[in-house]
């Protein structure tokens, strides 16, 4: 899976977000810091989404499968 990230220069440094993953956004004083912070933001979004799904499906009968995506 490949995600598209955007870094925008602002007076305070950089803001960054993932076009394909709502909620994954951050900032940093340097481009390197913004990149590092964005990795953490992506991890936290996936973790939060997984926890919410598990809570919502707690007693439900479900089938879980892995899926691989190719870039568009």
pTM score, whole prediction:
0.80
Kind and range of the H or E run holding 54 = helix 31-56
Is 90 exceeded by the pLDDT of residue 68? no
| Dist. CA 23–CA 63, nearest whole Å | 26
Q: Sketch the domain layout of the chain as residue ranges.
A: 5-56
Instruction: Return the pLDDT at 61.
Output: 92
The string of pLDDT tens digits covering residues 9-62 is 999 999 999 999 999 999 999 999 999 999 999 999 999 999 999 999 988 998
CB burial class (10 A; 0-12, 13-18, 19+) of residue 24?
Answer: buried
| Dist. CA 48–CA 40, nearest whole Å | 12
Is 70 exceeded by the pLDDT of residue 72? no
Between 2 and 51, name the one with better pLDDT.
51
């Amino acid at each position: 899976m490949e995600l598209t990230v955007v870094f925008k220069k602002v007076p305070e440094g950089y803001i960054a977000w993932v076009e394909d993953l709502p909620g994954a956004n951050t900032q940093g004083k340097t481009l390197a810091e913004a990149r590092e912070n964005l990795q953490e933001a992506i991890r936290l979004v996936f973790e939060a989404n997984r926890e919410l799904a598990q809570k919502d499906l707690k007693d439900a009968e479900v089938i879980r499968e892995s899926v691989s995506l190719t870039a568009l």
